[in-house]
Structure 1
Amino acid sequence: MGCNLLKGKRGIIFGALNDMSIAWKVAELAHEEGAIFTLSNTHIACRMGNVVELAKKTGSELIPADATNVEDLENVFKTSMEVLGGKIDFVLHSIGMSLNVRKKRVYNDLDYNFLSKTLDISAISFHKMIQTAYKLDAINEWGSIVALSYVAAQRTLYGYNDMADAKALLESIARSFGYIYGREKKVRINTISQSPTITTAGSGVKGINSLIDFSDRMSPLGNADALDCAKYCVTMFSDYTRKVTMQNLFNDGGFSSMGMSLRAMDQYNKSFDPEELAEDGSEI
């Protein structure tokens, strides 16, 4: 039972593919909290994915679009305003893909054509999305735009590859456009840096299961799951966060503030032979 946190609000949710998707959880929760919205994903995802099921479940119209194509994005915003009966109050960008990751190209041997596609799909699409909305004046004052990021934008994490560069660019776009949109239209733009989460895209990252286990052990509250992220997104869409903008907000159980946890130190010490450790547990 929702609390009507988004009652009367209209939105667009980009990136829901299946029930593993964070965007899928956001759509379910936004619907429960009283919002109406449209859903958008690639043409092939709309034809072959489970998102049609989500559209029926939430009473939403599904609008196919290539998020890197400005004409497609214009159609999404124009159609959404027609279908929903007015300007948009919130937008979720939950889009990311790396061909280098999929093709197992390591960071010191990137295919640069793949890199260009990674940046365009995972980050520049965010700029295109915001710019399209801005030029169409499609978002109400005090509207909220949120994109999903990851701590690899600030820290080096093995295996995350060129997606780390994409997330760093994504966060920069939120700050740069957040200033302009906030100053001129009172629209706020933020990114949420989520714990590693098993999604269709995330499952392609090398060592994802070990990464999830490591961050869960390091985080004092444990990993945030997809539903935790959806709750944070809904809060960011609501009127309770009107003065929050240009921020990268960590939803990761405290992982981003950790250096070394007790559990990690114990595990580290166990990796040595007893003879290699001093009496106090430190390495000789």
Structure 2
Amino acid sequence: MDQLTLQGKKGLVVGIANDQSIAWGCARAMRDAGAELAVTWFNDKARAHVEPLARQLGAAIALPLDVEQAGQLEHLFDTLAARWGRLDFLLHSIAFAPRGDLHGRVVDSSREGFARAMDISCHSFARMARRAEPLMRQGGSLVTMSYVGAEEVIPGYGLMGPVKAALEASVRYLAAELGPGGIRVNAVSPGPLATRAASGIADFDTLLAQAARRAPLRRLVALEEVGALCVFLASDGARAMTGNTIYVDAGYHILG
């Protein structure tokens, strides 16, 4: 059981928007497991929601991060290097697609919207991995968030399906490239959750109801359950696991 503690580990959590965020559930579980955390907020509007949560976590570092803004990612990792000198784990939980592209057909998606969704939701993870690598000299864990829509067509998920598929492929390539340095890379694929980000998906309430009926456990997953899996992946107990997409969805994905 000692392998499941995060005591003494330092981790970065990106993607907390409010107390319903997947990233918040994961951050809370990681803090409860003993980790010291750094967290980010997206913009000034989000800061009002995130700063109180950062205080609850006792976050040692709290900074803005908009991955489209030049210099913010570099400043964040420079701060981690200066304050901590190392990083043991990173949780990436950000995704975006312009509403017009998200609600339309993939075949009709704009070039600009597709590229922006891919940059924010997928390539930002690779950029963070590149910045984290020199801080993980003793190895570490990188985790990102996916969804079953990467593997099967989910009505209303639209453009995010191809984007999440690219993210899962990136996880495998990053795992292969960073593995010699002891850095593990995995994706977590939760079932649908009632987060603010997910509410942008068309007919999301219907999707939630269908998921609860379809899942073998006949229920939705809870934030705490996603958090528990992320604690495990950040811990030494998962030191031989890399390159995976791991489902925590009450079995929802097996009935595709």
Instruction: Specify the alignment match of 1:188 in structure 2.
Output: 184
Instruction: Specify the alignment match of 1:115 in structure 2.
Output: 114
SS state of the match for residue 206, structure 1? Answer: coil
State the distance in 2 between where 1:33 and 1:70 align. 34
Instruction: Specify the alignment match of 2:11 in structure 1.
Output: 11
State the distance in 1 between where 2:216 and 2:137 align. 38
Structure 2 unaligned blocks of 5 or more = none
Return closer, same or farther for 1:145/1:69 CA change in 2, 3 Å cut-off.
farther
RMSD over aligned CA atoms reads: 1.9
State the distance in 2 between where 1:130 and 1:68 align. 16
Q: Percent identity?
A: 31
Counterpart among 165, 168, 171 of residue 171 in structure 1: 168
Answer yes or no: is the 8 Å Cα contact 2:14–2:23 preserved in 1: yes
Q: Which has the higher contact order (CA 8 A, sep 6+)?
A: 2
TM-score by length of 1: 0.83
Instruction: Specify the alignment match of 1:141 in structure 2.
Output: 138
TM-score by length of 2: 0.92
Answer yes or no: is the 8 Å Cα contact 2:42–2:65 preserved in 1: yes
- Between the two proteins, the alignment pairs up a number of residues equal to 252
Instruction: Specify the alignment match of 1:56 in structure 2.
Output: 55
SS state of the match for residue 230, structure 2? Answer: helix
Answer yes or no: is the 8 Å Cα contact 1:4–1:32 preserved in 2: no
- Higher-Rg member (1/2): 1
> 2:206 corresponds to which letter in structure 1?
S
Counterpart among 159, 162, 167 of residue 159 in structure 2: 162
1:56-95 equivalence runs, <5 A: 56-60=55-59, 61-69=61-69, 71-83=71-83, 85-95=84-94
What is the CA distance between 1:80 and its match in structure 2?
1.9
Instruction: Specify the alignment match of 2:130 in structure 1.
Output: 131
State the distance in 2 between where 1:190 and 1:45 align. 30
What is the CA distance between 1:219 and its match in structure 2?
1.0
Answer yes or no: is the 8 Å Cα contact 1:175–1:189 preserved in 2: yes
Deviation sequence 1:234-264 (CA, Å, 0-9, x none): 11111110010000111111111125xxxxx
Instruction: Specify the alignment match of 1:44 in structure 2.
Output: 44
Deviation sequence 1:27-53 (CA, Å, 0-9, x none): 111111111011013233553x41000
SS state of the match for residue 80, structure 1? Answer: helix
State the distance in 2 between where 1:181 and 1:64 align. 27
